Structure 1
Amino acid sequence: MLQQKIPCIPLASFQDRETEKHKARYASLVSRLPPLESSCPQELHYFSSPGRTELGGNHTDHNNGCVLAASIDLDMLALARPRNDYLVTLVSEGYSPINIDLRDTALRIEEKGSSASIIRGLAAWLTHQGMQIGHGFDIAMDSRVPAGSGLSSSAAFELLIAAIFDDMGEYGMSPVDWAIAGQWAENEYFGKPCGLMDQIACAEGGIVFIDFAEPGKPKIEKLTYDFASNGLVLAIVNTGSNHEDLTREYSDIPKEMKCVASLFGRSSMRGIEKQDLLAKLLDIRIQCGDRALLRAWHFVHENSRPAQMVEALNRNDISAYLSIVNESGRSSWHYLQNIHAGNPHQQSLSIALMLSEDLLSPEAAWRVHGGGFAGTIQAYVPESKFLEFAERMETVFGEGSVQHINIRPFGVCKVLMH
């Protein structure tokens, strides 16, 4: 593991409209820390971890595929202070306080699905890597990444805690190390299957193309692009449903894709082409089922789209880019089938996509965002139509359901206040 230092970003580097808000948020965190023990120095460290938006490659990362993602300006902030014992305390508004003894890293079944499991899981990962944990720390946290909304609040939290561990322990980990640690903690301790896209996007920052052909050594290409320069607003619509009780629906997607891959003697869909699926179509239907075939069909087409999107952005061909976004959205709806979880009375993502198509076609783009089944859609809205778009969506999904997001150029970081 190469020795690296956590990126340190001056507060002034945050977007102008966010700087004063960040100051106020950090100031409010100081009062939430527990009383300082006399033997502990008042040593305060400030951190920020962004949410992420998936731009392309819907449900491809867990089958060694390619994705395009970006960090966004909705983030989690943390104020951390070292302790002279092995206790981690965490306070966050709206949640019960957490206390973890870092000397006990054994998996606890009763913690599954909780923030405590992530903290303990990260400590366990560090221990497995041969790193010594010298002391604990107090954390006060504030989040602007809505839970269950498809903006990866879980990955933002994992990366935030991983960065604090790294900074306090001076381990010299890289952003990819943090991402791998977070994924491991989520899979093994939190108990939710996930790929690595969310964590890498939160860790690296900016727009990133990620190739997971070798999952332990993902290839990462960073690029910059300003959608506003083409008169577009990148918007997320929170449809009011959330992801929090959909673990089975998510786990079925990689399981079904890998069932298809196994018929070709492979452990993942990577390397399987359309012609291969057509040649074994009947076998796939019998042994894995029709939905598995459709999801595999989605993968073999979707996996090429992130690279095509990068090419379009690099030549500033926004029309081609938006066309690919819509192809991705149609494939998710028709073949991947992650738009709804089977309840005929709750089809909020479908309603949001229907309304987007009605208003934005043919000049813009819209798609399911992230894991699907619930949560959010993503839309590229012409500036001239954004107010109408927001009004229409908020009439249906409630005030504040439309979020204008910006690409944040840096990932999880330590914040320099002066």
Structure 2
Amino acid sequence: MGAQQVTDRFTELYGTAPQGVWAAPGRVNLIGEHTDYNDGFVMPFALPHRTTAAVSPRTDGILRLHSADADAPVAELTVDALAPGTDRTWTAYPAGVVWALREAGHPVTGADIHLSSTVPAGAGLSSSAALEVVVALALNDLYGLGLDGGRLALLCRHAENAYVGAPVGIMDQTASACCEAGHALFLDTRDLTRRQIPFDLSAEGLRLLVVDTRVEHSHSQGEYGWRRAGCEKGAALLGVGALRDIPHSGLDAALARLGDEEEIRRLVRHVVTENARVRRVVDLLEAGDPRAIGPVLVEGHASLRDDFRVSCPELDLTVETALAAGALGARMTGGGFGGSAVVLAEETDVPAVTAAVREAFAAADLTAPRTFEAVPSEGARRLLP
């Protein structure tokens, strides 16, 4: 839904035109999975798929929310009554942002909000972060809060952690708020320094595909939280603040110190090797050798499948089939347990790779996957006026 359509629908719902329209993108992570909550390195980029919000402020303490993508009427909440754990529907995400802003001392006194999204939900492409960031950016502008993208991302993460109850890291919100078109974002999640890495595959005759397996997942469920707790236990057993502090050269010694803690050993090995993979991809892209990142993606998938164990049969089938059809690299992306995979391929091989994956799903009697090209796009911004 375009900006004008969102404006028109807002006017129908609330009886007056919005004071502005904003957009925030979903993201796909090129490399660096389950490292963000370990103070590690990640490398996402923004997608052209986005959540759009038409918004006007209110002064009476009322928050009204509507989504074109939810089969529900306008929800009306009282900002003074917002509290973590009180909402288990989609409205927890925008309401959580309002709560987080107010908790931080920002004078948000209500809003009318209408939302529409083209980010596939449950596909590991950060539909929730896009929703949070677009609301945060709109309220930041309307209330003159003066917060930059990095600060908005932190507030959105706090909303999702504390209000929604999902133990996510900082990557998704930062990508949605801060990415630039034609670049991947090299983010150090410890000190939040970030660097835009040129990522123009089309100029090299390459394409990066996203294959949405249509297997939905939920970060707020126990498997994700269990792994995060396991990483924290590993850091404690090794006497470090976070697994980021284990150098790749010291991995074998660290694993030996963990003794018979096999589950923890697996988690530690993935995080340490994944941080090294992010650095390798950065080096290869800056050296102008994007084809060479293919094998690194494959290594990352094997680590997520075998050590972190967050893949699923549909993701494994996607990766194996794409590689057999000529792809240069492929791996699952996102939190896992479903969602999407990324596939790096020569432009000329895209039709064959896409067809092979589709046929493999059909042969396995699985729902047909959704495949599209991932084009590095711009981060959150104001559309109107």
TM-score surpassing 0.5?
yes
Task: Return the offset for 1:378.
Answer: 0.7
CA contact (8 A) 1:75 1:156 kept: yes
1:101 aligned to 51, 55, 78, which one? 78
Task: Return the offset for 1:308.
Answer: 2.1
CA displacement, residues 80-136 of structure 1 (integer Å, 9 cap, x when unaligned)? 1233422121211242232221222333x3414x33323332223222322222x32
1:351 aligned to 311, 317, 342, which one? 317
- What pairs up with 1:68-217 in 2 under 5 angstroms? 68-95=43-70, 96=72, 97-107=74-84, 109-112=85-88, 114-133=89-108, 135-206=109-180, 207-214=184-191
Report the counterpart of residue 325 of structure 1 in structure 2.
297
Alignment identity in percent? 25
* Mapped partners of 1:187, 1:330: distance in 2: 28
- What pairs up with 1:12-411 in 2 under 5 angstroms? 22=2, 25-26=5-6, 29-30=9-10, 32-36=12-16, 42-95=17-70, 96=72, 97-107=74-84, 109-112=85-88, 114-133=89-108, 135-206=109-180, 207-214=184-191, 218-244=192-218, 247-274=221-248, 276-279=250-253, 281=255, 284-286=258-260, 289-340=261-312, 347-361=313-327, 364-395=328-359, 396=361, 398=367, 401-408=370-377, 410-411=378-379
Task: Return the offset for 1:239.
Answer: 1.0
**Partner-residue secondary structure (3-state), 1:78:** strand
Change (3 A) 1:291 1:153: same
Amino acid corresponding to residue 323 of structure 1 in structure 2: P
Report the counterpart of residue 4 of structure 1 in structure 2.
none
> Any unmatched runs of 5+ in structure 2?
none
CA contact (8 A) 2:166 2:219 kept: no
CA contact (8 A) 1:32 1:140 kept: no
Task: Return the offset for 1:399.
Answer: 5.1
**Partner-residue secondary structure (3-state), 1:33:** helix
Change (3 A) 1:412 1:74: same
CA contact (8 A) 2:175 2:379 kept: yes
Change (3 A) 1:245 1:212: closer
Q: How many residue pairs end up in the alignment?
A: 375
Amino acid corresponding to residue 374 of structure 2 in structure 1: I
Task: Return the offset for 1:387.
Answer: 1.7
Amino acid corresponding to residue 226 of structure 2 in structure 1: D
* Mapped partners of 2:198, 2:257: distance in 1: 44
**Partner-residue secondary structure (3-state), 2:244:** coil
* Mapped partners of 1:377, 1:43: distance in 2: 37
Change (3 A) 1:32 1:314: farther
CA displacement, residues 323-349 of structure 1 (integer Å, 9 cap, x when unaligned)? 322222222222222113xxxxxx211
Question: Normalising to structure 1: TM-score of the pair?
Answer: 0.84
Report the counterpart of residue 10 of structure 1 in structure 2.
none
Task: Return the offset for 1:245.
Answer: 7.1
Task: Return the offset for 1:249.
Answer: 1.2
Change (3 A) 1:255 1:274: same
Task: Return the offset for 1:31.
Answer: 5.0
CA contact (8 A) 1:33 1:139 kept: no
Task: Return the offset for 1:241.
Answer: 0.8
Change (3 A) 1:387 1:298: same
Please tell me whether residue 414 in structure 1 is matched to residue 382 in structure 2: yes
* Mapped partners of 1:87, 1:414: distance in 2: 23
RMSD over aligned CA atoms reads 2.1
Question: Normalising to structure 2: TM-score of the pair?
Answer: 0.90
The more displaced of 176-185 and 120-129 is 120-129
CA displacement, residues 285-343 of structure 1 (integer Å, 9 cap, x when unaligned)? 43xx3122012111111112222212211221123222322222222222222113xxx
* Mapped partners of 2:126, 2:150: distance in 1: 16
Amino acid corresponding to residue 59 of structure 1 in structure 2: H
Change (3 A) 1:245 1:155: closer
CA contact (8 A) 2:331 2:343 kept: yes
